[in-house]
Amino acid sequence: MSATSDYYLARAAESALLAESTDLENVKDRWLRAESAWRAMADKLVNSERKRAEAAAEKAERTAF
């Protein structure tokens, strides 16, 4: 299975909801850290995909001539 940014963002949203639903500070902190990690993974994947697309476009432009 290939992970997508939508998958990562869904896990981040789920973690945020779980953090809101608990009264225990240590559990809330754990869910908030998980949310942050999921969002970081989504950002990293989006940036990688953007750079890959830019590199492919540059390569196509160079080979077109």
Q: Please give the tally of structural domains in the chain.
A: 1
Transcribe 3-42 into DSSP letters: --HHHHHHHHHHHHHHHHT---HHHHHHHHHHHHHHHHHH
- The pLDDT value recorded for residue 1 is 54
Predicted confidence at residue 27, as pLDDT, reads 98
**Among candidate residues 17, 22, 11, the one with its CA nearest the CA of residue 45:** 11
Q: Is 21 left (phi over 0), alpha (psi -120 to 50) or beta?
A: alpha
Domain of 38 in residue numbering reads as 5-64
Of 37, 38, 32, 36, the C-alpha closest to 18 is: 32
For the whole model, what pTM was predicted? 0.83
pLDDT number for residue 65: 65
Q: What is the mean pLDDT of each run of 10 residues along the chain (65 residues)?
A: 88 98 98 98 96 94 82
